[in-house]
Structure 1
Amino acid sequence: MSNTKPPHGLSRNAANYGDPDFAFYLRRSFAASMGYSRVMLEKPVVGIADTASDYNNCHRSVPELVEAVKRGVLAAGALPLAFPTVSLCEPSLVPTSMHYRNLMAIDTEAMLTAQPMDAAVLIGGCDKTVPAQLMAAASADVPAVMLVTGPMLAQRFEGERLAACTDCRRYWAQYRAGTVSAERIGKIEGKLATTSGTCGVMGTASTMACIAATLGFMPLMAASAPAVHSDRLRIAEEAGALAVRLISHPVKPSEIITEKSVENALRVLLSLGGSTNALIHLTAIAGRVGVKIDLKRLDALSEETPVLVDLKPTGEGYMEDFHAAGGMIALLRELRDLLHLDCKDLYGQTLAEQLDAAPPFVDRAIIRARDKPISPVGGIVSLFGSLAPDGAILKRSAATPALFETEARCMVFDGLADLANRIDADDLDVKAEDILILKNAGPLTPAGMPEAGYLPIPKKLGRQGVKDMVRMSDCRMSGTAFGTIVLHIAPEAAAGGPLALVETGDRVRLSVKDRRLDLLVDAAELDRRRALWRAPVAPKRGWDKLMFEQVLQAPDGADLAFLRPEGV
């Protein structure tokens, strides 16, 4: 039996020149040129995914976090090596950051597997970065710690608190309705995001942070500590130390992303009144290890999982309030009897052990007791019917209950350009009771499944005081948005789903009670329309072409088909 130790650190993954000894000699030589001693170069290595970017305001604290992670790694006896990857920021990308989530996942997976490292720390924050990194970690199956940048702090301004991006949308809707002046909206613009960090509400970034913690990729309280809080730097240092621990006590992503932990994450999503985007992301992450999320199972969980967290966009508080109120520990303690308590985290602790060891404090103004919930049922419901054979979702915790049972005429927009050109026309034939439908904005389209499902209220109706309408689409909406909005209709219009056949004047029925979404047009007329429908032209090159050829529909997480395990 050989006593040779398995390769570690820089002795892993050598380039192949036909002479392995020369490959390692060359690597050590080039590493030495950066000033490392031979002692340091023989230590195990922790890779640090650095997603800092001048285009990504949510990540401007990343350089400081990298340094804190390095402290933790060095103190624990390993060598930290940071490396850059794709960085995604919603406001800075065309057509949308979602279009590039899978590209970032490919980039991150390649760097995790191609470079020599024994474990990794993944630094993410802005919406699509965390799911991209967890998708990559799941596929690479390299021991990895998730470190989020943390949420921004709310800003006090003229008697109210403001933070991106629910307050952005609230004020913009008032501006469109004519109740806020151009001067006022200009002032507000500079007060919505005044510290580093992700959106300060329970949007997609914060929801994904909570889900990552629930899955076990970081300590529970690490999900909510503000970006500018000293706790965030201590969490970063601990992430480095934890990564070193994973080298001698490995826990791989495939061991913690399980059917049970994914169901726990769904419970958390529902109880937070969390972002609808998180459902697509969690589906993609779980799909990388062969765990499938069933929308009908989600709906069953929603009926028995209460909304307990009072944060915007569905409530009043901000993420800093959630952290101070007890954060994920307090929330999971309230949900304890609904959870799989034997799920383990990267420390090897069960969820039950984590909750038992944690302080008992909770602020009931932010995290409600089970017998006094914000809502007795979960924030998201699934819908099926002739308009959505493969499903759609609605965030009922952010919707208007009076609109839950609606049958009405629809006003259809054929894409984003059509929406932009007509939505505010004074001669638009639309009434408050109509249903607005946007099609051709799903994952197959050049639009890239944007957060356009939050269709604006037509200006002519906004001026009349209309604040909500039933809106439907095959795309997404921001986790910071609100309204009676049906999303992720599948199959999408560009895939030839029934949504492709809807025309202005058709009648559509939404029933949240029956979980139905139906197009009330007779079969013969739909057959006539289908004969005239033409599939979209495929892009000719690059990432757009690969997405078009491989992207899956929303119920499968809009991942790329060839990146999932065979048979999933």
Structure 2
Amino acid sequence: MKYRSAEWFGKKDKMGFIYRSWMKNQGFPEDLFDGRPVIGICNTWSELTPCNAHLRDIAEYVKRGVYEAGGFPLEFPIMSLGETLLKPTAMLFRNLASMDAEESIRGNPLDGVVLLTGCDKTTPSTMMGAASVDLPTLVVPGGPMLNGKHQGKDIGSGTVVWKFTDDLKTGKMTYDEFSHAESCMSRSPGHCMTMGTASTMACMVESLGMTLPGAAAIPAVDSRKKVLAQLSGRRIVEMVKEDLKISKILTREAFENAIKVNAAVGGSSNFIIHLTAIAGRIGVDLNLDDFDKIGSQIPLLLNLMPSGKFLMEDFYYAGGLPVIMKELAAVLHMNTMTVNGKTHGENIHSKVTCYNSDVIASYENPIIKEAGIVVVKGNLALNGAVIKPSAATPSLMKHKGRAVVFENIEDYHERVDDPNLDIDETCVMVLKSVGPVGYPGMPEVGNMPLPKKILDKGITDMVRISDGRMSGTAYGTVVLHISPESAIGGNLALVENGDIIELDVEARLIHLHVSDEELAVRRTRWKKPDAIADRGYVNLYVNHVQQADKGADLNFLVGKSGSKVARDSH
């Protein structure tokens, strides 16, 4: 079998000399260029991405497996997106990193690719890029941190931050206690150990069939993570020989499986945007309504923060994602192909056992009967918005209240704790200008911390709506991803203080009680915000980004170009 890399290393002319000679300056022996599969290890390692800071070590285990299987591993970096440090938001650069991955894979002599991922956006960005090239591809998730430990209790990354911040604001916690909790929460390499977006993405790729079975929940520092990496290195070589491309795995049925699994694990609402973008790259028709139709009636089976009380380490010890998929077997497409060459049904069969029913519930006796992310529509969100019921307050799922409007995130920070702010717990907090174009990048600020005057009353949740996102580690009755967004003239831009907003999750409704005639008058007064940037990537982004219901990908990246290099001047 002649591999793609032979177009570089197999040439017996001047260019073949150049390709091989310059590679040999790294000490690679002659026989590595003998026509064996070349495997790219796409590494999102960075010390600026703490969740992925261990991936240099993981790459070495992948290489070990590639060599064992007779392949030639070559590691390469792409832009790494760390949710914790990168401003204004890592989501702004997800599409840029996907372009980096796509062009790096296509432009180099690679026959197959292993994606090393971890923090939130590193998984979808690399998947999007790889899908656009369509080579044999396998994912090795970096894994979650060990459980946080604080004052004798488990604490979850992200989730506890929101609680501790409220406690600090109301005086329930001193700053010394607050500071001490930092090292208690993050005490090993790895990503958030709650069911935040990083854990959600790991579950997403396993449910899609893009990892070896059981990969999603293995803690970053568990020795079995290294074993998984080594086995993945072996397997990618076989995938190349079998020509098992990513498009053979990412079928419509695989996406439907991922939607159902996400509901069962209480996954992040960010899942919708990322899965939609990946589907757009591979050419699978997936729209916002599919997430409601396919996933909203799936039961919650995983008792994990923020929807429950346990953490990812506990999930792994209980049996991991294969247990969830076994419980869902009757409603999943169990005949879909996975990267190990077997179907989900073959992988799970009778080999999977739940070791802790407190962590993973049965399908017949779930934690919540219907837990999937719900899509709501109305005159306030003509193209839809989303809410995560498993993280919301049941009594607020049907609510009508007076709008308290913040025009942008700066306005929110300036006024939210003003004692004179006209707000009570029955109000609806509204945040504008935090969508894909408006911020730009659609930051995770939708779960606005409540005003101090509300927290002082012992109130912990209110209805909040915005065109932004929220962290998968967050909780609350929060309506997100309103589309069209306010910055491009969506009706959210026209909401004023005192307007009545109605939320009815069961009826799938988000409605602004203002007449069409009044909205038309307000629209004549609305002014489009000034451009956020006039050069560079940000300018490119705001001029080409699609709305949240389309996955917030750049419009010119939708679809795939395949692995053929545009022009070979060599």
TM-score normalised by the shorter chain: which range applies?
over 0.9
Q: Which amino acid is 2:56 matched to?
A: P
- Of 6, 14, 19, which aligns to 1:27? 19
Match of 1:398 in 2: 391
Distance (whole Å) between structure 1 residues aligned to residue 339 and residue 40 of structure 2 = 17
Match of 1:370 in 2: 363
Alignment of 1:93-172 (within 5 A): 93-172=86-165
**1:520-563: CA deviations, max 9, x gaps?**
01122211110111223332111111111110111111011111
Matched, 1:546 2:540: yes
Answer with 357-366 or 51-60: which moved more: 357-366
Q: Which amino acid is 2:16 matched to?
A: F
Matched, 1:449 2:421: no
Matched position secondary structure for 2:377: strand
Matched, 1:12 2:7: yes
Distance 1:288 1:20, change over 3 A: farther
1:178 Cα deviation after fit? 2.2
Distance (whole Å) between structure 1 residues aligned to residue 100 and residue 289 of structure 2 = 33
* 8 Å contact kept, 1:177–1:465: no
* 8 Å contact kept, 2:434–2:466: yes
Identify unmatched segments of 5+ residues in structure 2.
561-570
1:226 Cα deviation after fit? 0.3
Distance (whole Å) between structure 2 residues aligned to residue 85 and residue 351 of structure 1 = 31
Match of 2:473 in 1: 480
Q: Which amino acid is 2:454 matched to?
A: L
* 8 Å contact kept, 2:354–2:360: no
1:234 Cα deviation after fit? 0.3
Alignment of 1:488-527 (within 5 A): 488-527=481-520
**1:191-248: CA deviations, max 9, x gaps?**
1111000001111001110110111111221111000000100011011111111121
Alignment of 1:159-198 (within 5 A): 159-198=152-191
Report percent identity of matched pairs. Answer: 39
* 8 Å contact kept, 1:144–1:217: yes
Matched position secondary structure for 2:115: strand
Distance (whole Å) between structure 1 residues aligned to residue 296 and residue 220 of structure 2 = 34
1:469 Cα deviation after fit? 0.4
Answer with 154-163 or 323-332: which moved more: 154-163
Match of 1:384 in 2: 377
Distance (whole Å) between structure 2 residues aligned to residue 100 and residue 32 of structure 1 = 34
Distance 1:555 1:6, change over 3 A: same
- Of 57, 60, 73, which aligns to 1:67? 60
* 8 Å contact kept, 1:153–1:163: no
* 8 Å contact kept, 1:223–1:328: yes
Match of 2:555 in 1: 561
- Of 306, 321, 328, which aligns to 1:328? 321
Answer with 509-518 or 522-531: which moved more: 522-531
**1:18-73: CA deviations, max 9, x gaps?**
x9821111111111121111112223211111211120110111111011011001
Alignment root-mean-square deviation, CA: 1.5
Matched, 1:290 2:279: no
Matched, 1:50 2:43: yes
Identify unmatched segments of 5+ residues in structure 1.
none
Distance (whole Å) between structure 2 residues aligned to residue 374 and residue 13 of structure 1 = 55
* 8 Å contact kept, 1:168–1:192: no
Matched, 1:429 2:425: no
1:157 Cα deviation after fit? 2.4
Distance (whole Å) between structure 2 residues aligned to residue 536 and residue 253 of structure 1 = 41
Distance (whole Å) between structure 2 residues aligned to residue 307 and residue 361 of structure 1 = 16
**1:4-23: CA deviations, max 9, x gaps?**
x53443x33589xxx98211
Answer with 230-239 or 339-348: which moved more: 339-348
Answer with 376-385 or 98-107: which moved more: 376-385
What's the TM-score, normalizing by structure 2? Answer: 0.95
1:170 Cα deviation after fit? 1.6
Matched position secondary structure for 1:377: coil
Match of 2:567 in 1: none
1:303 Cα deviation after fit? 4.3
Distance (whole Å) between structure 1 residues aligned to residue 443 and residue 9 of structure 2 = 40
Match of 2:564 in 1: none
* 8 Å contact kept, 1:270–1:380: yes
1:355 Cα deviation after fit? 1.2
Report how many aligned residue pairs link the two structures. Answer: 558
Answer with 296-305 or 397-406: which moved more: 296-305
Q: Which amino acid is 1:522 matched to?
A: S
Distance (whole Å) between structure 2 residues aligned to residue 407 and residue 302 of structure 1 = 26
